[in-house]
Amino acid sequence: MPIDIRDDVVYIMLKKIDECDRGPGPDEVNFSETDFAGLKITPKDVLGHLDYLNQRQYINAEFTGNAYGNQEDVPDAVAPKEFDFRIANSFGAADGPLPHLISFKKAELTEKGRQMLDEMNADPPKALESGPAVPIADKDSPFLERVMVKANLTDLYDARDITEVVFRTMRDMMTNEAVDRVAEELHEPMEPTDEKALQNEVADLWIDTNPLVRFLSRVRPPLIIKEDTFLFRIRQEAGIPQETDVDTVLKAVFSAAKDELSEDRIKEIAEFLPGKIRQMWDHA
C-alpha cells in the first residue's frame, strides 16, 4: 500500500534538516517523536517520506542497512512504483520497519529542497494550523522550552540539568571577567512556571546552582579543555536521554544561549571554545 506524502510531515523534515546543517555535505539528523508531536506517523512513514524527498532530489540523504530488504514472508512498506524503495516490515508490527534492515543516517537540503522550504515557510501547510501543535522553538519561547524542543527532550528538568552541565563546561574554560559579562546578559526567567525548581534566571544556570561548584570555578584558573574532553564531560555528566545525543543537545543549548546574548558576548565565548565545539557554537 503506497504511503501518502503529507505536506506537514515534509515541512517538518525539511526544517529539521536545514536546522542541522553545519556545512558542506550531509550532516547527522536525529528525528524523534517530539518533532512530530500531534501527528499520527510511524517510523515506516518517516522513512517513506525521507526516501521520497531523497528520490525526488529535495534532499541528499544517506541510509544505512539494507534499503531494499525484500523478504518473502513480510509485506512491502512502500509501493515500489511510488518510490522504488522498500522496507521489510514484520507481521503485526504496524509501527514500522525492522531496525536492522534500514535506518536514516545523514542528510542535507539540495537547492531544490531549499526552494521548497522557502515556499513552505511563506505558506505553511494548513494541517499545522489545527489540531495538536507541533513544537517549534523560536526566540519568543521560554529558554528551557527552546532547549527541550531543539534537543529532542520531553522533560524541562532534563533541559535544565543538561544546560547547566554544558554551561559549566563552557565556563570552566573562561576567565571570571568573561563569565561575569555573559551572566549580565542572561537575566531572563528559565521558564514561566509555578514550580520553584524552574523559577531561576538563565544566569543562575550559567554561574551554577551548586554553591561549591560555583565557588571552585571562581578560584581556579581557566582550564584548557580539548574538544574530545568537552564532549566526554557532557556525555558523562549530563545524563543525556537515549532519544537524543550529545551533538543535538549541545546545539540546542548553544542556540538558546545565543538568542539571549549580544554579538560581543557571542564572539567572546567563541574565543574560548576548542575546534569542533567552536564550529558548533558558530553554527547554532
pLDDT digits (tens, 9 = 90+) for 12-26: 999 999 988 888 888
Grade residue 223 by pLDDT with cuts at 50, 70 and 90. very high
Rounded mean pLDDT, 146-157: 87
Whether the predicted pLDDT of 284 surpasses 50: yes
The reported pLDDT for the residue numbered 39 is 74
Do 66 and 24 contact (CB within 8 A), yes or no?
no
pLDDT digits (tens, 9 = 90+) for 94-125: 343 333 334 567 889 999 999 999 988 888 88
Whether the predicted pLDDT of 90 surpasses 60: no
pLDDT digits (tens, 9 = 90+) for 224-240: 999 999 999 999 999 89
The reported pLDDT for the residue numbered 86 is 34
Cα dihedral 267, 146, 143, 282, rounded to 10, equals 0
Q: Does residue 32 come out as left (phi exceeding 0), alpha (psi in the -120 to 50 range) or beta?
A: beta
Structure-model confidence comparison of residues 4 and 11, the more confident one: 11
Nearest to 166 by CA among 144, 141, 139: 144
Please state, in angstroms and as integers, the Cα–Cα distance from residue 227 to each residue in 125, 170, 220, 233, 255, following that order.
40, 11, 20, 10, 18
Nearest to 227 by CA among 176, 261, 178, 278: 278
pLDDT digits (tens, 9 = 90+) for 192-216: 555 555 556 788 889 888 888 889 8
- State pTM to two decimals: 0.52
Cβ contacts of residue 150 below 8 Å, gap of 6+? 19, 137, 248, 251, 252, 255, 256
How far apart are the two ends of the chain, measured CA to CA in Å? 40
The reported pLDDT for the residue numbered 89 is 33
**Residue with grid cell 522504488, as numbered in its chain:** 84
Rounded mean pLDDT, 170-181: 95
The reported pLDDT for the residue numbered 67 is 41
> Measured at the alpha carbon of residue 31, what is the angle toward residues 234 and 10, in degrees to the nearest 5?
150
Structure-model confidence comparison of residues 242 and 39, the more confident one: 242
Range list of H helices, 56-142:
80-83, 111-122
β-pairing, 59-65 vs 102-109, is: antiparallel
The class of domain 143-283 in CATH terms is mainly alpha
> Which residue type occupies 253?
V
The reported pLDDT for the residue numbered 209 is 83
- Residue 128 in grid coordinates: 499545522
Structure-model confidence comparison of residues 108 and 83, the more confident one: 108
Mean predicted lDDT score pLDDT of the chain: 78
Nearest to 149 by CA among 233, 248, 247, 235: 248
Q: How far apart are CA 282 and CA 276, in angstroms?
A: 10
Nearest to 26 by CA among 17, 34, 37: 17
Grade residue 128 by pLDDT with cuts at 50, 70 and 90. low
Grade residue 2 by pLDDT with cuts at 50, 70 and 90. low
pLDDT digits (tens, 9 = 90+) for 25-77: 888 887 776 777 767 777 778 888 888 898 889 999 887 654 433 433 333 43
The reported pLDDT for the residue numbered 30 is 79
Rounded mean pLDDT, 243-268: 93
The architecture of the domain spanning 7-129 is Orthogonal Bundle (1.10)
Rounded mean pLDDT, 117-143: 66
Residue ranges per structural domain of the chain: 7-129, 143-283
